[in-house]
Structure 1
Amino acid sequence: MMLSTPLICVMGVSAVGKSTVGIALAEALSVPFADADDLHSDANRTKMNAGTPLTDDDRWPWLDAVGGRFGAASETGLVMACSALRRVYRDRIRSVAPEVLFVHLTGSRELLLSRARARTDHFMPASLLDSQLDTLEDLDADEAGFHVTVDRVPGVLVAEIVARLGR
């Protein structure tokens, strides 16, 4: 059963469409949207911009900020775009906001690479896609969430997500 004020993390690797789908989903659910990328430190952004993958030590403060943002939104609801690539990262978010549901956007490497190469306004270079795919851990059966394949237009994806949320 979905909470009346949903806390939804739209997760996946770079170029999967987390922000695009997240913004549209937040609008469909009438809740605020946030992008976890905005919570990265300047040092993290500099590393990623240079094509250097983040370490877990780089990520912990960022994940704490993501969890805190979800925790602060328990009354308003929130959809946030956040990579949340590993189980331990999702656990870190859930340690602050246990009600978060993860919507894992998935797509073929070829599709994601073509999207990443087409972007000109993003700090995450296409060269980091393989590192993200290598890091990605699928949702475990005991994690609240589900997968959505991104080989369709955003409106269709959002309609599927809303239906799966029981809304």
Structure 2
Amino acid sequence: MLVLVAALAGPVAAQVPEPDDYRGEPYRAPVPSTLAGAEVVDAAGAIALHAQGVPFVDVLPRKTRPPELPEGTVWREPPHETIPGALWLWNTGYQKLSEVEHARLVDGLEKASGGDLAAPLVIFCRADCWMSWNAARRAVEMGYQRISWFPGGIEQWQAAGGAALVSAEPVAP
């Protein structure tokens, strides 16, 4: 019975230290409970910030055509579901960003904040995903002063009863 109670309580938070640099593969792994220069919010905090109208930034990668598909095979990009109103800045949470990805993050954060480095922003992805940690760290390093990192991502959002996810359109390259 104790095992069942522990399982229902959820996973035990791993004690993961903040790295000195951006984190690479594997991106889906336990994350730190902190991010220097940012506030870490749980699902209740994220839901409250959303209700206040704070902009949300989703950094989950975009699914692309698998390279092993035979020539002529029809491929349709699957829909991406996110928190309502979130700006989907796809592929901006990797350890290393291309110039295009970096520009997408810079331009997207400026759009989400209205160009105000003191404006609050919430950055998220999936639960236990380093991409949101990387992107939030970059935002802090760019001078954004009110970054909230939501490490629980869409899984914790849904589990906490947040608004239903909606289909998102990727921000233009």
Same fold flag (TM > 0.5) = no
| TM-score of the superposed pair, with normalisation by structure 1 | 0.34
| TM-score of the superposed pair, with normalisation by structure 2 | 0.33
In our comparison, the structure showing a higher alpha carbon Rg is 2
Higher helix proportion: 1
Larger relative CO (CA 8 A, sep 6+): 1 or 2? 1
